[in-house]
Homo-oligomer: A and B are copies of this chain.
């Protein structure tokens, strides 16, 4: 198992030329697992190779980020075609100015041009993909985004370790949240202090999203009626936001005694995002809030007890809906005016990976999947309650990665 050791980070920081680390990649067993997984899927789809251009997939396949293209064949070693940074050197690294340089350079290395080239059709802009197609002129093309998304769904040991680091740090950071609350604060003032705590614990600040950009800054803090505001984005809950250009999350609402504050931040302490929501309360909440929050906790208990490898994602969605109906909270579940049609989602390098816990899902949970489960309730006139945790599917069940206080957290509770 490969760890991101302090020594590695030190090497990373001190070397202009990253080649020494690059060469070590070829001894990294964990990376080899990911390569094998993608190669198997490429072969199955009849593809000779894919050309990867997005940061997120380049990082997945190299544990580094560069500007350029990773030529990743269904068989054999990948070739790094690097535009920037300048100065990278290594057996499999080739410096290029533009993608049109690649075919001749492949030829020079004795690598035949792919007949069936897969490109990241769901992630690369139309004009760039057309340009790449023209440069390679392959007989057939296919969608590398779908291949990578499928491969990334099952996490490797090193990836799982990254989640553990993120989740542990997120719990450490959340422990400090009650202490920064001051009476009369607005949601955004509170959020700013939470962001600072997260950053001081090592949050990289990045919130990676698959698909059309959903602008959000580290996460969301919702209190009172703002929790009921629908948003254009595909998050579990909304919030009006501070500005029409970013209509999501905190809106400047003052935190009042007796209203819950829902803190839902992405744990980006490594490249792999843990996702955890907790509810904080300053003063007593109405009994209904505790009752709905208890229901969310019960739903997490049922998840822990019932889910096994092979469990259908749709099944989790169905019993979650049923439990909310049985307790009379169906109209409050996952929003009010606009109810999210999922109760959880895969996490990884991006916050919204596969599988999706929704009624329409055909996916089944498999060992190595990491997903967030987030049964949440919006109570009119009160606010939002419910927890979100990140789980790992193991060989025999699931393991909660975001281990932290689960009741509604009072200001004095953790100090």
Contacts and interface: CB of A to CB of B under 8 A. Distances in A.
Interface string A225-236: 010111111100
Contact of A233 (B67, B204, B271): B67
Given A84-B338, A206-B215, A217-B204, A271 B252 contact: no
A323 interface: no
Given A84-B338, A215-B206, A240 B67 contact: no
A377 interface: no
Interface in A382-402: none
Given A125-B121, A245-B59, A232 B13 contact: no
A230 B17 CA distance: 9
Interface in A184-208: 188-189, 192-193, 195-196, 199-200, 202, 204-206, 208
A233 B83 CA distance: 10
Contacts of A188: 199
A85 interface: yes
A145 interface: yes
A62 B68 CA distance: 35
A297 interface: no
B243 A270 contact: yes
Contacts of A242: 202, 204
A181 to B, nearest CB: 16
Nearest to A124: B126
A125 B127 contact: no
Contact of A230 (B12, B16, B213, B271): B16
A196 B204 CA distance: 15
A53 interface: yes
Given A12-B240, A85-B338, A195-B199, A65 B245 contact: yes
Given A195-B199, A206-B246, A212-B54, A232 B126 contact: no
A63 B196 contact: no
Contacts of A234: 67, 84
A37 interface: no
Among A129, A145, A200, A245, residue most surrounded by chain B Cβ atoms (within 10 Å): A245
A225 to B, nearest CB: 9
A59 B13 contact: no
A306 B133 CA distance: 45
Interface in A227-273: 228-234, 238, 240, 242-247, 251-253, 270-271
A337 interface: yes
A251 B16 CA distance: 13
A234 B253 CA distance: 38
B205 A217 contact: yes
Interface string A110-149: 0000000001011111111110000000000001010000
A121 to B, nearest CB: 4
A307 to B, nearest CB: 29
25 contacts: A13-B226, A13-B253, A16-B229, A16-B337, A63-B244, A65-B245, A65-B247, A67-B212, A67-B233, A84-B234, A86-B230, A86-B337, A121-B130, A122-B126, A122-B127, A122-B128, A124-B125, A125-B145, A188-B199, A189-B200, A192-B200, A205-B218, A206-B215, A243-B270, A243-B271
Given A84-B234, A84-B338, 4 more contacts: A55-B213, A59-B244, A65-B215, A204-B217
* List of 9 A-B pairs having minimum Cβ-Cβ separation, nearest first: A205-B217, A245-B271, A85-B230, A126-B129, A67-B232, A121-B127, A192-B199, A121-B126, A66-B232
